[in-house]
Amino acid sequence: MPKKIYDKEQILDACMEVFANHGYDNTSTLMLSEAAGISRTLIFHHFKGKKELYLDLLDRCFEKGKVEMGFDTLPEYEDFFKAKEKFSIIKFKYYKKNPVLYKFVINAFYETPEELKIEIKEKYGELIFRKNQIWKQMFKKVSLKEGIDSDQAFQLVMLALDYCDNKYLSEIENDTNFNEANLQKFIEERNSFLCMIRYGIEKTEG
């Protein structure tokens, strides 16, 4: 009888979906093996245990996202706000196309399993910090009013943009009818919100 050939990518996709749907703590090795259609022994022939498999999947998500969303092209942009809008659109479309990956990543960073907190912080903290520093350097090119602290302004803008992006991504995940018209509406709302921060909301006299 010929030896059955297993597709590692299909196995990883199946395992990621189990983690995404059930969370790390509620996922057993039996659930992973059944979803992947192979024995537990074969799964852990490649991985030492559930923790290593989970972290390997997270690595895979980061590498895939880095390539498909083009993070390495960030320094090429001159305008911070135009770059932020462009990458938000790319991110929306990417996660809409990959809902399981999105759910898995969100769970990893916003509902981090206790067992993995140290590893995830050490493994990805520096990576996220470096990406944030690139955005920060781009923001320094923005002309600010006299007396405005650049670091504080950057933090305020990033908080607002992250809030908008996360809110819209959550809606994308739960709306199977999401389309280009919805996306354009989201971008318009986001930009309107951002304009309030950039130009102020209080009416001044004179």
| pLDDT at position 9 | 84
Q: How far is CA 149 from CA 94, 109, 141, 162, in A?
A: 34, 29, 13, 20
Reply yes or no on whether the pLDDT at 173 is more than 70: no
Segment 9-55, tens digit of pLDDT: 888 999 999 999 999 999 998 999 999 888 888 887 777 889 989 99
The stretches of 75-149 forming alpha helices (DSSP H) are 80-97, 99-110, 117-139
Determine whether 8 is exposed, middle or buried from the number of CB atoms within 10 Å of its CB (0-12, 13-18, 19+): exposed
Reply yes or no on whether the pLDDT at 99 is more than 70: yes
What is the 8-class DSSP label of residue 78?
A: S
Contact at 8 Å (CB) between 71 and 91? no
Reply yes or no on whether the pLDDT at 163 is more than 50: yes
Tell me if residue 96 falls in helix, strand or coil: helix
Contact at 8 Å (CB) between 58 and 108? yes
CATH of domain 8-199: 1.10.357.10
Segment 50-88, tens digit of pLDDT: 998 999 999 999 888 888 887 777 666 678 888 888 888
More confident residue, 206 or 13: 13
Chain mean pLDDT for the chain: 84
Per-position DSSP letters for 14-54, written without gaps between them: HHHHHHHHH-STT--HHHHHHHHTS-HHHHHHH-SSHHHHH
| pLDDT at position 19 | 96
Backbone angles phi, psi at 24, to 5 degrees: -65, -50
The domain locations on the chain are 8-199
**Other C-beta atoms within 10 Å of 130: how many?**
9
**What is the rounded CA–CA span in Å between residue 52 and residue 115?**
11
